[in-house]
Amino acid sequence: MNKKIHMVLFLFIGLMLTACTAGETVSKAVPEKTPVVDEETIKIGFSMDTLKEERWLKDQALFKEAIEDLGAEVEIVAANGDDALQLTQAETLIQQGIDLLVIVPHNAEATAAIVHTAHRAGIQVIAYDRLVKNADIDLYVSFDNERVGEMQATAILDLVPKGNYVYIGGATTDNNVHLIKKGVFNVLQPAIDRGDIKIVYDQWTEDWSPEKAFLNMTEALAANNNQIDAVIAANDATAGGVIQALEAQGLAGEIPVAGQDAELAAAQRIVGGTQTMTVYKPIQTLTKQAAALAVRMAKGETVTTVRSVNNGKIDVPSILLAPIPVTAENMRDTVIADGFHTGTDVYGAANE
């Protein structure tokens, strides 16, 4: 008799559990700290301008690692400088149901359309390293790019307090180039006003192309009969083009050249004496910060900042990390100590 009662009770409990599971709610005791319902995995979309430069390959790998370390997923696409493609790729990410979009804009103005599309779908957008102009961007995470320019100019002005200067800018579609140039001229302007230095050539470089930077520098040398005393280039790729033009005239290593990004080729040129300095932006810090903020925001958490940057429409909540000037003297204490490059890669196995 006991066996029959037990069997009936077992069947009754089973039926009740099945009925409850099919209903809208089930009331039951839950141990403390145990979630009632598992959260779905957060999915972040990462729309990148390009993967043609060493710098951005590092960002891609480090951001993916940081997102996955947080238990989230990331879908990464790159448009390689094509504005229309970047818009199409971002729309695809949005249609795939991402929880938040992180974007490195190729064109600061054109990518405003991506922000509008994401917001219509209820998706927040973080501008990564480069600001999106004229859009209600939710957060901007970058380095202090104006400070980057100030570091470049300070290093070169200390070496060349008087003379003819060339400025080789980056792509005008990138808002960072305007901030960097502003920082450069914050430092140079007093010397310009005194007549100590003269800007004899000042040109932007389309798409940050080293080949176009080479042509610009070749033109600057020809226009000034090679009478150039210093060059400030917007990044290490353009600095590479500048140095090629100087090499063609037998001037490499004689004229100080500044860059930024701490690319391996630039680090090698610095220890080799053809490039004077670069500005190191610890990308691992940037990727970890951006990844953590992206996941938090995707979960609905509020992020507050103490700084903002106006993008032509709003004051965008911003987190701006500190850049670091790098020369031959502090190479080991900066990019090598951080593991950004190895000593062997920078100096060569024979000299390490």
- Tell me how far apart the alpha carbons of residues 247 and 249 are, in angstroms, rounded to a whole number: 5
Give the pLDDT confidence score for residue 39 in this predicted structure. 57
pLDDT over 50 (residue 26):
no
- Tell me how far apart the alpha carbons of residues 240 and 32 are, in angstroms, rounded to a whole number: 59
pLDDT over 60 (residue 17):
no
- CA dihedral angle for residue 105, residue 293, residue 56, residue 45, rounded to 10 degrees: -60
Give the pLDDT confidence score for residue 6 in this predicted structure. 42
Q: Please, are residues 101 and 114 in contact by the beta-carbon 8 Å criterion? A: yes
- Tell me how far apart the alpha carbons of residues 191 and 177 are, in angstroms, rounded to a whole number: 22
Q: How confident is the model at residue 25 (pLDDT cuts 50, 70, 90)?
A: very low
Average pLDDT over residues 231-257: 98
- How far from chain centre, in Å, is Cα 152? 19
Distances (CA, A) of 231 to 17, 147, 239, 264, 290: 76, 18, 9, 20, 33
Average pLDDT over residues 146-169: 98
Q: What is the pTM of this model?
A: 0.81
In order of their start, the domains of the chain are 43-137+283-321 (3.40.50.2300), 145-280+325-347 (3.40.50.2300)
Give the pLDDT confidence score for residue 238 in this predicted structure. 97
pLDDT over 50 (residue 23):
no
Q: Please, are residues 235 and 210 in contact by the beta-carbon 8 Å criterion? A: no
Average pLDDT over residues 72-86: 96
Query: Could you give the 3-state DSSP secondary structure of residue 180?
Result: helix
* Alpha helix (H) residue ranges in 23-134: 54-69, 83-95, 112-120
pLDDT over 60 (residue 5):
no
Phi, psi of 204 (to 5 degrees): -80, 165
Residue type, 165: Y
> pLDDT tens for residues 172-187?
999 999 999 999 999 9
